[in-house]
Amino acid sequence: MQGSANLNLMIKAARKAGRSLVKDFREVENLQVSMKGAGDFVSRADIAAEKIIKDELLSARPNYGWVGEESDAEEGADPTRRWIVDPLDGTTNFLHGLPHWAVSIGLEHKGEVVAGVIFDPAKDEMFIAEKGNGAWMNETRLRVSGRTRMIEALFATGLPFGGRADLPETIRDLGRLLPACSGVRRWGAAALDMAYVAAGRLDGYWERGLHSWDVAAGIVILREAGGLVEPLSPGGDMLEDGQLICANEKIFDQFARVIRNVA
Ligand code: IPD
């Protein structure tokens, strides 16, 4: 795919941060004896990766705004454009030595995400998309799955941990969905859950309690792969509310009816 200068910049920043995170990931295993030590180390790795991305993106586009998981949001001189960045999505996986985490970079223009990059360095999978230009994983064009039957479909979600308020709702969702489908995965990295729906590996995904940096890149990648993504509560704002539902376009309505609990 022939990407724009912005997309190439995002890819370059994601690769650079990925290299730094891979080095740190190799160290994490040695630190597991002390969870506190490992936790502090991982948050330093996370912050360092965000700095790499921020330096790369803002030195090339100093007038864009910035939203990142690890630093304060900044309004740019150009109020219509902002980077939305999660330097390390899947932090808990990273901390536990599980090779399933990603760098996620979205570019928003006038309230819409127009370009996205999700990079999984452990598997060397780079998911990219730009509005109107399709979605790609490395050299392969992405297309959502064509499954139409709920009973054959595989979904993913996030399970609320650590006393999060949305646990009862998620348990109720699972109670309705599990008997009707072929399985629900909890992989632990929202950006990759969305990339996997775009790649047709999963048929759908939903979650509450997310942040804009978890989902920005995934929204455009999914749409460009032919998927549907909507706020979980119709009419909401996906980047602000932190809850969404997405799926291949054929199964979306059936899946959404189960999750939204409408007849
Ligand atoms: C988390 C992951 C996880 C999701 C959480 C997110 P983080 O992001 O995406 O899958 O269930 O809601 O906060 O903290 O690893 O960047």
| pLDDT per position as a tens digit, 79-95 | 999 999 999 999 999 99
Instruction: Convert the pLDDT of each residue in 195-248 to its tens digit.
Output: 999 999 999 999 999 999 999 999 999 999 999 999 999 999 999 999 999 999
Cα 164 from Cα 157, distance rounded (Å): 15
pLDDT (tens digit per residue) in 109-125: 999 999 999 999 999 99
Q: Which of 50, 53, 89 to mutate to test the pocket of ligand 1 (most atoms within 8 A of CB)?
A: 89
User: Averaged over 27-50, what is the pLDDT?
Assistant: 80
| Distance between Cα 151 and ligand 1 center (Å) | 27
> Is the C-beta atom of 108 inside 6 A of ligand 1?
no
How high is the pLDDT of residue 81? Answer: 98
User: What is the position in ligand 1's atom list of the atom closest to the CA of 157?
Assistant: 11
DSSP 153-203: -EEEE----TT-TTHHHHHHHHHHHGGGSSEEE--S-HHHHHHHHHTTSSS
pLDDT (0 to 100) of residue 50: 97
Return the closest-CA partner of residue 195 out of 92, 126, 107. Answer: 126
Structure confidence at residue 77 as a pLDDT band (50, 70, 90): very high
Band of residue 39 on the pLDDT scale cut at 50, 70, 90: confident
Residue 33 has pLDDT above 60, yes or no: no
Taking the centre of ligand 1 as the mean of its atom positions, its distance from the CA of residue 89, in whole angstroms, is: 6
- Provide the pLDDT confidence category of residue 36 given band limits of 50, 70 and 90: low
* Rounded Cα distance, 87 and 105, in Å: 8
